[in-house]
């Protein structure tokens, strides 16, 4: 059995990645000011990457490998396979720009997301929106913060879907069974919820739940780098992240998530969403 990781070590990791996310953010914002980003497509025409994504990942990976050589690194732009439990130890999981499409369009909802997983569990996370200069962070067992102020769990109970603001994302698929399910669920939520949002950054969506400004997030197809940085933030703010297809607590690489904000009495809302989902299951390799 390897040793548990100590709170002082988690705090050190937190402080380093906060500083790094802010430094990366300044670079990304200065790239916006200079020119339209250089865009390339990955899986298809809606799955995009820019030179800023690559440069930012390289800055973050160089710094983390230099500062914490004993821990592994996985980033969206360089990962060859998704593995969150590297050698059974610690791994940094990074999305250099979560919300690349928003970044390309200048829509100010994208973030640098840096998470640290230990034995497959997200323990520390930072999500930084460099346009709004909103910095969210969390350490498991210690708390979550926005711009250095503690994020307090709301006392406002979760209600029904009818009382809820729901986030559903479209991802990078446009013509398969998963996309069909997302279309059906968009309509189902639109009919039943107070309203539906699709904002384009999984990391910031989970932070919106942590702050209590949205109630539900449902998405499939994202990866551990999209969610790992925000994971400890939402859990420390009292929220829950469940597998999107089953009743179990989610693992960071499940790729299908149903998350709810903190607050008393989440079970009836989760049950209502499960009933609306019915037989629909999003499937990813
Ligand atoms: C994005 C996610 C978003 C999802 C997009 C994309 P990226 O991350 O955060 O929720 O719907 O397809 O994966 O690719 O901008 O880092």
pLDDT tens digits, 188-245 = 999 999 999 999 999 999 999 999 999 999 999 999 999 999 999 999 999 999 999 9
Using one digit for the tens of pLDDT, what is the confidence trace for 71-116?
999 999 888 788 887 666 899 999 999 999 999 999 999 999 999 9
Q: Compute the distance between CA of residue 277 and CA of residue 15 in angstroms, rounded to an integer.
A: 40
The two structure tokens encoding residue 57: 């990942």
Ligand 1 binding pocket includes 99 (Cβ within 6 Å): yes
Active site residues: 76, 95, 97-98, 100, 226
pTM, whole model, 2 decimals?
Answer: 0.96
Helix, strand, coil percentages (3-state) for the chain, rounded to 5, are 35, 25, 40
Residues in the chain: 285
Residue 85 has a CB neighbour count (10 Å cut-off) of 16
CA of 197 to the centre of ligand 1 (A): 14
Provide the token pair at 274: 């499960």
Q: Which atom of ligand 1 is found nearest the CA of 205? A: 10
DSSP for residue 220: E
With a 6 A CB cut-off, is 169 part of the ligand 1 pocket? yes
Smallest CA separation from ligand 1 atom 5, residue: 171
Taking a C-beta distance cutoff of 8 angstroms, is the pair 122, 252 a contact? yes
């Amino acid at each position: 059995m390897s040793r548990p990781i100590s709170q002082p070590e988690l705090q050190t990791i937190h402080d380093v990645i906060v500083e790094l996310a802010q430094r990366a953010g300044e670079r990304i914002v200065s790239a916006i000011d200079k020119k339209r980003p250089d865009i390339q497509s990955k899986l298809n025409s809606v799955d995009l990457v820019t030179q800023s994504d690559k440069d930012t990942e390289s800055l973050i990976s160089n710094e983390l490998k230099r500062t914490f050589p004993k821990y592994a690194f996985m980033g969206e732009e360089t990962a060859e396979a998704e593995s969150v439990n590297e050698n059974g130890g610690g791994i940094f999981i990074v999305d250099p720009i979560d919300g690349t499409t928003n970044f390309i369009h200048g829509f100010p909802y994208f973030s640098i997301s840096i998470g640290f997983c230990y034995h497959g569990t997200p323990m520390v996370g930072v999500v930084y929106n460099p346009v709004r200069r909103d910095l969210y962070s969390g350490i498991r067992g210690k708390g979550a913060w926005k711009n250095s102020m503690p994020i307090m769990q709301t006392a406002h109970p979760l209600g029904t879907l009818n009382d809820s603001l729901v986030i559903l994302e479209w991802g990078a698929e446009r013509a398969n069974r998963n996309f069909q399910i997302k279309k059906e669920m968009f309509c189902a939520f639109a009919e039943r919820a107070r309203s539906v949002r699709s904002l384009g950054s999984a990391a910031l969506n989970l932070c919106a739940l942590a702050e209590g400004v949205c109630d539900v997030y449902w998405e499939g197809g994202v990866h551990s780098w999209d969610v790992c940085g925000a994971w400890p933030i939402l859990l420390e703010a009292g929220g829950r992240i469940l597998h999107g297809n089953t009743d179990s607590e989610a693992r960071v690489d499940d790729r299908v998530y149903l998350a709810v904000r903190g607050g008393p009495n989440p079970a009836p809302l989760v049950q209502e969403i499960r009933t609306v989902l019915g037989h629909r299951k999003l499937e990813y390799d």
